[in-house]
Amino acid sequence: MSRATETRLRKLEVSAGVAGRRVFIFGALEPGKAKRRELIACGEATGDDLFIFTGVPDRDPQSYVRFTINASGEWVR
């Protein structure tokens, strides 16, 4: 991603009020949806968090990547 695009995306995230929210990135859709429900049920995630499904199957369908968006719009692991 180009630097200008990253800057633009960061500004949009901050203006949209996503700072402080968690982002969960999953591969395949169906296993990802099941894991999403599980994360919400156990309290690790909330319905306000951002969930992204790439559609690309992982070796482990239960795996995911988690980030937090800080106040300046940066994604932090």
The per-residue pLDDT for 74 is 74
Please say whether the beta carbons of 24 and 66 come within 8 A: yes
AA letter at 51: F
Terminal Cα-to-Cα distance of the chain (whole angstroms): 18
The per-residue pLDDT for 15 is 67
In the chain, where the domains are located: 3-76
The per-residue pLDDT for 30 is 80
Please give the average pLDDT of every successive group of 10 residues along the chain, which has 77 residues: 73 67 82 88 89 80 75 73
The per-residue pLDDT for 41 is 94
The per-residue pLDDT for 38 is 92
pTM metric for this prediction: 0.63
